[in-house]
Amino acid sequence: MPELWRYQEYLQGWEKVYAVRENPFDVADPDEWIVELEAEGKIRGAVLDAGCGAGHNALYLAAKGHDAVGVDITPKAIQCAGEKATERRIQNVTFLAANLCESFGYEGFFDSVIDIGCFHSLHEEDQKRYADVLKQSCKSGATMHLRTLNAVDSANVPGTEPAQTQERQIREVFSDGWKLEKIEWKNIEVVGFAEETVKTGAWFAQIAKTV
């Protein structure tokens, strides 16, 4: 488990974000990248949405027939996600408020993991714990799809601190029991709190569990 002060930092920071109902992380539509991955058949079986926020990606994948579990440290976000699932009558999705740096009750369960904001929100000291929890939670041969903002371009994007991901971090963190199958850097656009579009950069990685 991360040190208590870091856990409280994560929790309080994201609770503050989701205290504002209209925030850039509480959206209706899935991320375009997730739609592409699903259409290409790269998301298989039971899916973990790590750092699911208000659930838009998990809900989309569940509607596509996947058994989906969304986990987020933020109870307010999980409440929003659960309300959306009820409104849309989607039953094959579960939302859980939990700390992804420690076991959250699923072992050897997931075939796929998506992460579009959790990894880069963690202090570097906690990223290895996070990877170990995911390894414990996934089946052998499971695939993780990671999008993480890079160190140079993410500094001014609201809600993404510390967001200091470098390529070497991904390679080091996902080295034991994982195989980095693909990694590339892309220019992307994200939406900030004032609904402005912010240009930034991100690492996109495909990582397989090997044990």
**Domain housing 20:** 4-209
CATH at 182: 3.40.50.150
Side-chain-side CA neighbours of 30 within 13 Å: the count stands at 19
**Closest to 126 in 3D by CA, of 150, 106, 99:** 99
Model pLDDT, residue 193: 62
Model pLDDT, residue 115: 98
The segments of the chain whose pLDDT lies below 70 read 1-2, 151-164, 192-195
Give me the residue label for tokens 């991955």. Answer: 37
| CB atoms inside a 10 Å sphere around CB 187 | 9
Model pLDDT, residue 152: 47
Model pLDDT, residue 204: 97
Angle 110-116-120 from CA coordinates, rounded to 5°: 110
Domain count along the chain:
1
Model pLDDT, residue 159: 45
Burial class for 12, CB neighbours closer than 10 Å (0-12, 13-18, 19+): exposed
Model pLDDT, residue 13: 86
